[in-house]
Structure 1
Amino acid sequence: MTPDLRPVTDADWDSWYSSLERAFGGVRESDQERALYRDLTELDRSFGAWDEGAWVGTAGAFSFRLSVPGGAMVPAAGVTMVSVAATHRRQGVLTAMMRHQLDSVRELGEPLAVLTASEPAIYGRFGYGTATYAMSVDVDSSRVAIAAPPGTEGVRLRFADPEQAAEACEAVYLRRVGSRPGMPARSPGWGRQPLLDPPADREGGSPLQCVLAERGGETVGYARFHNRPDWSDTGPRGVVVLRDAAAGDPGAYAALWRFLCGIDLTSSVRSRNLPVDDPLLHLVSDVRRCSVRVRDSLHLRPVELGAALRARTYRAPVDVVLEVADAFCPWNTGRWRLSGDAKGASCERTRDAADLELSVRELGSAYLGGVSLSSLAGAGRVRELREGALAEASAAFGSDVAPWLPHGF
């Protein structure tokens, strides 16, 4: 079919969103979730495929600013709400929507597009590379002790109503945004997302709970979680399901984890989204009893390659010519000279001989510093054309801390 792509209006948002829900299994979201995402939807960036009086595809984008190496906040399209009806698979609907969307992103002057993928294999062909990973843990709190670095004992913890504490928690989050690549600066309205509390998302636990960490009367950290009671013949075995936690210093972070691991009638703490280099790995007494796992999280593609590579800084001096292939956005194809260091960078087209050969997908993976070009070369996805160029570029693209996406969109 030739997809009929149409913008979403205020009047047909509900039917458009319902078609998205059907594509993801047909379970209607809670009224709270629908209301939030209705408010967050940018109608001028939302559209879909239409066929005989019904939506058969959906796609949208949020206007984000994304933290990149060096601390800059770079405009990025947060690709979201993408679906194709089961009746219209393999008919070119998704390709048509991706084409329309990336052309629009380019027109808006956003150097980057990012997304989280329900099925990671889908988006590689459109130039998206896995740029961040998320760590999951199941801490056996009955056997694991949490270290107490300096400053831990000076932290006061108190329960707070999640709604009433939202402003204080958001302030802690915002102070951290520039410190780790991959974190979006939340625009108005997004502070409500962490407060979503539909019963289906509680994993059988309590309504959302919040604990604030304070020092000298100032909020320096928080943890939001569910407590799921459980019992066996040998006693209590409840689970603390951590939604999110943040702190401004090691002592406050340790104090929060000591609290979570010490809640009465529980024997484990579960978290599904931590940075892969989270300090927790060095606070626990036995990392083997934490069931550490890693999965893909944020997928990124440079939309305007030169602008994207100029927008970040580089961990080590670099001067390389990149031979880039980009079949889906051919304006990026060709040779680019990247020169930069920790103070800034330039990236311009050149006719000089290439030092490295790769596609835009590999640059998307390496962009935030969490995936090394050397590891991609080991998989045959980057080819070195000048001896030493791979090591130089790989070191330059690295980040002192692992990039991380703290929440979905």
Structure 2
Amino acid sequence: MAPLDAQTVPLDPGAGGVLAAAGLRYRTVDIATSDFVPFIKAANRGFLGEEPNDEQIEGSRERLAGRRLTGIFDATSAEPATPIATVDSWVTDLSLPGRRTIPMWAISGVTVSPTHRRKGVARAMLEGELRAAAGAGIALAGLTVTEATIYGRFGFAPAVSAADWVIDTRRARWVGPAAPGRVHAVDRERLRSELASVHDRARLARPGDVPGWTGLWRRIAGLAPGNDDRKVRGVIYVDESGATRGAMAYTIGEEPADFTRHDLAIAMLVTESEDAYRSLWRFALEHDLVSTVRAPLRSVDEPLRWMIEDQRAATVTVSDHGWLRILDVPAVLTARAYSAPLSLALGITDDLGFAHGVWHLDVDDDGHGTAEPIDAVPDLTMTVRELGSVLLGGVRPATLRAAGRMQGSADAVTALDRSFASVDTPYLSIWY
């Protein structure tokens, strides 16, 4: 079945009414018209970016193709054609435990002009996105955030963490196994193609990951219009059969005081085999004249830790990354696979009403779950945020209970822990 086109989903009339009462207009922006130019300038301004040039604007058209662009306009402002708030959204697959997927309403580019802060604009816009998604039959929404304190009030919660690595290569010393196959340097155009292909094949094994898009791969490979970065280098891993199983985009910067010491910054390293993973990491750590390797946005459970002699040579910083917001409890809980049988009544509180209720979750011996509303006293109670956090298996229910974020018996939490555990570590490899 073809994915839903978000551009066909109408704007939420409730949000439109709230904004109209404040003297603001709420409408979509056609990417193919001149309306797009003030839209992307407003979005860039919202993220403290520079004024885009014509080539960068065309690159943004490519990056945002297929998305629903929404702007909020103030006719009394000095620039009435420029939105005072922006958001873009689209429907994409989210990987789930059991190497399954579910359609997700992805939200990005959320900005509100400083001139219109604290006037309810963001609330109307984001609640409108959620109602539009739910009305279109999408069971959950997701986003990555620049400000982590904003989105909890709308029912979003961190479900996937990411780790930033900084490695002192002089201390790390590779002790992992050697791998067959070869590492080859490639030009940036082939790098773009290989990153996209390997990522698409590998993402099902990473709960929380989403597909990339043309503009993303062009940017990572240093080919984005208006942002051509000739410093980007690329290598691929080719196995013994000649198939590409991994790709890495990176740049190298020189230490001003010592030309023999360079930083190697990994923009993306994606693999679909253990051999590819080992070979590309070894290539980075043993690169000539490199003293530091920096790798942001990695999994919180990197095998690399066990492939270097001195684990203290790596400084690892973990932070929240992928946030989820459940809109349809039965659809979401039925979509994923489970690790152990389960029969529990879950009481979910949702201030916006989408997930509110008591839901009976039943998981059979094969890991297939069904969920339905039930009139009963729940075994466990939580808000929709906690349910979103534990959905992918990256956050343990027992941890949330210990933090006072989930209420119920120890036995019920232990049963939920066992069932929701994921064989594959949740990992979101990109920003969106």
Report whether the alignment pairs 1:232 with 2:260: no
Q: State the alpha-carbon separation in 1 of the partners of residues 393 and 429 from structure 2.
A: 16
**Corresponding letter in the other structure for 1:79:** I
Alignment deviations for residues 127-163 of structure 1 (CA, whole Å, 9 cap, x no partner): 000011111111111221122325x1x2211110021
Name the SS for the 1:143 alignment partner. helix
Give distance in 2, aligned partners of 1:256 and 1:369.
28
Aligned positions, number:
402
AA matched with 1:404: Y
| Residue 195 in structure 1 maps to residue 224 in structure 2 | no
Change (3 A) 1:313 1:160: same
Q: Could you say which residue in structure 2 is the equivalent of 1:149?
A: 177
Match of 1:241 in 2: 265
Contact kept, 8 Å, 2:59 with 2:224, in 1: the verdict is: no
Please point out which of 161, 178, 182 is paired with 1:133: 161
Q: Which residue of 1 aligns with 2:29?
A: 8
Whichever residue aligns with residue 306 of structure 1, its letter is: P
Please point out which of 276, 285, 304 is paired with 2:309.
Answer: 285
**Which residue number in structure 2 is paired with residue 398 of structure 1?**
421
Cα–Cα, structure 1 residues 339 and 33, in superposed 2: closer, same or farther, change >3 Å?
farther
What corresponds to 1:388 in structure 2?
A: 411
- Which residue of structure 2 lines up, in the alignment, with residue 159 of structure 1? 185
Q: Which amino acid aligns with 2:176?
A: A
Structure 1 position 71, deviation (Å): 1.2
Letter in 2 for 1:398: A
Matched, 1:266 2:290: yes
1:47 — aligned with what? 70
Q: Aligned letter for 2:249?
A: R
1:68-83 superposed matches below 5 A: 68-83=96-111
Letter in 1 for 2:278: A
Q: In structure 2, what is the equivalent of residue 122 of structure 1?
A: 150
Matches within 5 A, 1:308-387: 308-328=332-352, 330-341=353-364, 342-384=366-408, 386-387=409-410
Could you list the per-position Cα deviations for residues 41-83 of structure 1 after superposition, in whole angstroms to 9, with x for gaps in the alignment?
A: 3566221211122411111212210100111111001101101
CA deviations over 1:82-112 (Å, ceiling 9, x no partner)? 0111011110000100121111101221111
Unaligned runs of 5+ in 1: none
C-alpha deviation, 1:198, in angstroms = 7.0
1:252 maps to which of 261, 266, 276:
276
Describe the superposition over 1:231-258 as per-residue Cα deviations: whole angstroms up to 9, x where unpaired. Answer: 536x621000001112232232222112
The CA distance in 2 between the partners of 1:276 and 1:110, in whole Å, is: 28
For residues 134 and 239 of structure 2, what CA distance do their matches in structure 1 show? 46
Paired residues of 2:187 and 2:234 also in contact (CA < 8 A): yes
Question: What amino acid is the match of 2:28?
Answer: P
Q: Work out which of the residue numbers 102, 110, 114 in structure 1 matches 2:130.
A: 102
Cα shift readout 1:170-205 (whole Å, capped 9, x = no counterpart) = 222222111110111335665434324579999xx9
Cα distance, 1:200–1:256 mapped onto 2, change above 3 Å = farther
Q: How well do the aligned residues superpose, as a CA RMSD in angstroms?
A: 2.3
Which whole-Å CA distance do the structure 1 matches of 2:194 and 2:66 have between them? 30
List per-residue Cα deviations over 1:237-286 (Å, max 9, x = no partner).
10000011122322322221121112222101001111000111111111
Distance 1:23 1:138 in 2: 30
Q: Render the CA deviation track for 1:202-230: whole Å, top value 9, x for unaligned.
A: 9xx96110011112222121211001122
Which residue is 1:65 aligned to?
Answer: 93
Label 1:332 to 1:272 Cα distance change in 2 as closer, same or farther (>3 A): same
CA distance in 2, matches of 1:68, 1:270: 28
The 1:58–1:345 alpha-carbon spacing in structure 2 relative to 1, beyond 3 Å, is same
C-alpha spacing 1:34/1:280, structure 2 compared with 1 (3 Å)? farther
Deviations 1:385-407 (A, max 9, x none): x4511111122112123211111
Does structure 1 conserve the Cα–Cα contact (< 8 Å) formed by 2:23 and 2:74? Answer: no
Task: Flag structure 2 segments of 5+ consecutive residues without an equivalent.
Answer: 1-21
Name whichever of 61-70 and 241-250 sits farther off.
241-250
Identity of aligned residues (%): 30
- Asked if residue 295 in structure 1 is aligned to residue 316 in structure 2, the reply is no
Structure 1 match to 2:209 = 183
Letter in 1 for 2:174: I
TM-score, with structure 1 as normaliser: 0.92
The answer to whether the 8 A contact 2:255-2:261 is kept is: yes
Distance 1:279 1:339, change over 3 A: same
Instruction: Tell me how far 1:22 sits from its aligned partner.
Output: 1.2
1:275 aligns with 2:299: yes
Query: Any idea what the Cα deviations from partners look like across 1:322-374, whole Å, max 9, x if unmatched?
Result: 1111112x132110001125531111000022001101011111111101111
**Residue pair 2:162, 2:319 contacting (<8 A) in 1 also:** yes
Matched-pair contact (CA < 8 Å) for 2:97–2:424: no
Q: Distance in 1 between matches of 2:226 and 2:162?
A: 22
More displaced 10-residue stretch of structure 1: 292-301 or 168-177 = 168-177
- The question of 1:28 aligning with 2:54 is answered no
Deviation at 1:312, TM superposition (A): 0.7
Distance (whole Å) between structure 2 residues aligned to residue 138 and residue 93 of structure 1: 39
